[in-house]
Amino acid sequence: MKEELQNVSQESIAQALAADYFCIYYVNVENNKFTEYSASKEYRALGLPKSGDDFIGFSRERFELLIDPDDREMFLDCFTKANVIAALDDHGIYTLTFRMMFAGKSTYVHLKVTRMIEEERRHAVIGISSVDDQIRTQQAFRQAHDARVRHSRIAQALTGDYFSIYVVEPDTDEFVLYSSAGAFDELGVETSGGDFFNLSRKNMDRIIYPEDKDRFMGIFTKEKIMTILERDGSFTMKYRLMIGGEPTYTSMKATLLEDEDGRHLIIGTSNIDAQMKREENYQKKMAEAKTTAKNDFLANMSHDIRTPMNAIIGYTNIAKSRLDEPAVVEDSLEKIGSSSHFLLSLINDVLDISKIESGRMQINEGECDLAAVLHRIEDITYLQAQNKSLVISYDHSSVQHYMVRGDEMRIEQILINIVSNAIKYTPNGKSVALIAGEEPSEDPGKNHYRFIVRDTGVGISEEYLPHIFDSFTREQSTLVNRTQGTGLGLAITAKVVEMMGGTISVKSKLGEGSEFTVDLDLEAAEEVKPDQPAQEAESGEALTGMKILLVEDNDINAEIAKMVLAQKGAEVDRAENGQVGFDQIRAKGEGYYDAVLMDIQMPVMNGYEATEAIRSLPGDYCRNIPIIAMSANAYEEDVRTCLDIGMNAHIAKPFQPEQLYKLLEQLV
C-alpha cells in the first residue's frame, strides 16, 4: 500500500482536485500572463482563449459579456488587480461570487484566487467553480429565515448596530449572513454554508489580531457557546480584527432565539473601535492625572516633611553645641517640640485620608461635652494666633445644650482643622473668629449646631473654590505657596462631616477672606453648665512607688518611656519582647507589677500573643492586671483589636506623657 501511494503523482492529485472547478488558470501576478490548466465542457463551450498576456484585462473584457447583467457592475468594481493584490497581501486569499450565463441560464459561480507556495510568491492559481445549487438552497434558507427574523425585535435591534449578523441553526450548523457592512465584506469570509463554528474558527485564525487569538480560540467553540447561552440567554465577547492592516476592536453578541420552528442562533458583530479608543484615551488621561496628583503630593510631602525635620536636626545640633547656655537650649527644645508636632500632624493627615478612602474610618458616638471641646480649641488655637499677631475671637453664647451624643474627637478635629487653616492663611495683624450657635432641629430628639469660622485672610480664588475639599490639592498662589501642609486637612474635614451626617460649605473672596460653615444635628445628652470645665488633679501624683513592666523591643522608645515614668516616681522593668515579658510576669508572681505597658510589633512574641498568654495564666491577678497597648499601630481597628484581645486601653506613639500618667492613675 505504501508503494502504491508513493506512485500517485502530484499531477494526479491536482487533476482530481480540478474536477470540482469549471476552470483553473495559472497566473503570474507580476506581469498578468496566464495559462489555462483545466476547463469543463460547459466552460470550454464559451470559446475563451487558453492563454494570454493580461488576465485581468481579458477577464474584464470577455467576462463582462458572459456575466449576468445584474452582476456586471459589481464584477467590474471588485475584480481589479489592486483589489486582488491587496486581498492576497492581507489575507492570503481573494474570493468573489457572481452569476455567469451558461446556455442562456444564469448560474452562480465562485472565483477563488490563492498564491502558490514558492519563495518568490509571484504566481497565483485562479479557480472558478459552480455554487449555483448551494446558493439557490441558501437563498431559500435565507428567505425562510427572513420571514421569521425580519420582524423579530432581535433582528431589528441588531441590524442597525452591528456590521454583520449571522443566523445559525444550532442543530445542523447551517448558517446564512443576514446583513453586513462593507468593512466586514472585505474580510473575505463565507456568507453561508454549513459547519459554522469550525469554519468561523478557521477564518478567525486568519483575520484576528494575534494577541487575541488564543483567548478567542479557547472560548469560541460550539460546546462552550451553547452552554453559556443555555445558562445565561446571551453571550458577549470583545476582540480585535485586522481590518485594513490595523487592529480594530470588535464586539460579538450571540442570542438564542426560540420560536415555533425551533431554536435559532443570532450572532452579531459590531465595530466598537472608536468607543474603545475613547475609553483607552480617557483611562490614559485619568492615569496621567493620578500620576500628576501623586507626584504633586509627594513633592509637597517631601518639602513639608523636610522643613520640620530640618528644624529638628538643626536645633538639636544648636542645643548640643551650646549646653552651657540654658536660654538657647530651652528655645531650641521649644522649636524642636513645635516642629515635631507639625510633623506628627502630617502623618496623621495621611493616615486619616487613607482610612477614609479605604472605608476603614468609623464614627464612634458617645457622650460629648461641647463646652470642653470649645475650651480645648481655644487653648490650642489662641497660642497659634498669638504667635502670628492675629486677633482671634470665640463666641458660643447662643449654645444652650452642651452635652450631646457624638464623636468628640472627630468634632474637635473638624473645628481644629478649619480654625488652624484660617490662622495658617491669614496674614499677621488680621483676624479670625469661631462662632458656635444652636437652633432647633427638624430631626426630633436632636439639636442643630452651626459652627462658623470667619477670617480676613488671603481668600480663595473662584477657580480653586470648587476643589477646596479635594484630596492632595493646594491652591497654586504666591500668597499661599509658602504655607506648609499636605493639602489633606480640609478634605479630611469634609469627609468626616459627611460621615457624621452634616454639611460643610465655604464662601470666599480673593484678598478679603473666607467663611466656612459646618452644620451638624446632634442628639441631646445630660446637661452640664458651660464655661466650667472640670478641674483635673495634678497628673502623676499617684505614680510614686508604682511598679510597671515595660514590654518594648526598641531601645530608644524604652529609654524615653522609662525616663517619663521615672520622673513621676514609678519603678520600671523592661522586657525586650513579648516572650520575656510573659516570663517576667510569671516569675515575679502575683501582685508584683501594678501595670504592663505593651508594644505590639515585636520579635519572638508580639504584643497580642503576649497579652493572650498573660490572661491565660491562673488566678485573678493575671486576668485583671491592667495591660496598656503603647503602639505605633494607631488605626481604629488596631485599637479594637487590642481591646478584643484583652488589653485595657491603647495609647498611640508618639504619646503625650500627661495622657499616660492620667491613664495609669485611672486603671491602677
Q: Decide if 533 is inside a domain.
A: no
Comparing 297 with 203, which gets the higher pLDDT? 203
Q: Decide if 1 is inside a domain.
A: no
DSSP states of 624-642: HS-EEEEES--SHHHHHHH
| One domain, residues 409 and 497 | yes
pLDDT category of residue 304 using cuts at 50, 70 and 90: low
pLDDT category of residue 533 using cuts at 50, 70 and 90: very low
pLDDT higher than threshold 90 for residue 581: yes
Q: Report the C-alpha dihedral over residues 624, 630, 635, 638, rounded to 10 degrees.
A: -40
| One domain, residues 503 and 629 | no
Sheet with 34-39, strands from edge to edge, namely: 51-52, 34-39, 23-28, 123-130, 105-115, 93-102
| One domain, residues 18 and 33 | yes
Percentage, residues of the chain above pLDDT 90 = 26
- Residue 275 phi/psi, 5-degree rounding, is -65, -45
Residue 588, domain CATH: 3.40.50.2300
| One domain, residues 348 and 320 | yes
pLDDT higher than threshold 70 for residue 287: yes
pLDDT higher than threshold 90 for residue 151: no
- Mean pLDDT, residues 214-236: 90
- Mean pLDDT, residues 276-280: 88
* CB 495 within 8 Å of CB 354: no
- Mean pLDDT, residues 588-606: 94
| One domain, residues 144 and 126 | no
| One domain, residues 236 and 293 | no
Give the best-scoring range by mean pLDDT among 11-20, 347-356, 384-393, 428-437.
428-437
Residue 23, domain CATH: 3.30.450
SS3 per-residue string spanning 581-620 = HHHHHHHHCCCCCCEEEECCCCCCCCHHHHHHHHHCCCCH
Q: Decide if 279 is inside a domain.
A: no
Q: Decide if 587 is inside a domain.
A: yes
Q: Decide if 263 is inside a domain.
A: yes
- Beta-carbon contacts of residue 384 (< 8 Å; ≥ 6 apart): 420, 423
Domain that holds residue 126: 9-130
Length of the chain: 668
SS3 per-residue string spanning 110-177 = EEEEEECCCCCCCEEEEEEEECHHHHHHHHHHHHHHHHHHCCCHHHHHHHHHCCEEEEECCCCCCEEE
| One domain, residues 293 and 184 | no
User: What is the model's pLDDT at position 2?
Assistant: 43
Q: What is the pLDDT of residues 474-523, one digit of tens each?
A: 565 534 444 444 556 788 888 889 989 999 999 999 989 999 999 999 99
Q: Structural domain tally of the chain?
A: 5
Cis peptide before 654 (omega within 30 of 0): yes
pLDDT category of residue 532 using cuts at 50, 70 and 90: very low
Q: Are strands 403-406 and 513-524 parallel, antiparallel or unpaired?
A: antiparallel
- Beta-carbon contacts of residue 153 (< 8 Å; ≥ 6 apart): none
pLDDT higher than threshold 50 for residue 243: yes
Q: Which of 133, 92, 87, 88 is nearest to 109 (CA)?
A: 133
What cell was used for 435? 462662632
Sheet with 547-551, strands from edge to edge, namely: 571-575, 547-551, 595-598, 627-631, 649-652
User: What is the model's pLDDT at position 615?
Assistant: 95
Q: Report the C-alpha dihedral over residues 12, 18, 19, 22, rounded to 10 degrees.
A: -150
In this structure, the number of other CB atoms found within 10 A of the CB of residue 416 comes to 19
Q: How far apart are CA 342 and CA 199, in angstroms?
A: 71
| One domain, residues 629 and 481 | no
| One domain, residues 390 and 520 | yes
- Mean pLDDT, residues 519-538: 62
User: What is the model's pLDDT at position 456?
Assistant: 94
User: What is the model's pLDDT at position 16?
Assistant: 58
User: What is the model's pLDDT at position 531?
Assistant: 46
Q: Among 188-197, 256-265, 300-309, where is mean pLDDT lowest?
A: 300-309
- Mean pLDDT, residues 426-445: 90
Q: Decide if 546 is inside a domain.
A: yes
What cell was used for 118? 514558492
pLDDT higher than threshold 80 for residue 195: yes
Q: Decide if 531 is inside a domain.
A: no
| One domain, residues 548 and 519 | no
Residue 486, domain CATH: 3.30.565.10
| One domain, residues 492 and 374 | yes
Q: Indicate the residue type of 279.
A: E
Q: Among 66-70, 111-115, 140-144, 589-593, where is mean pLDDT lowest?
A: 140-144
User: What is the model's pLDDT at position 376?
Assistant: 82
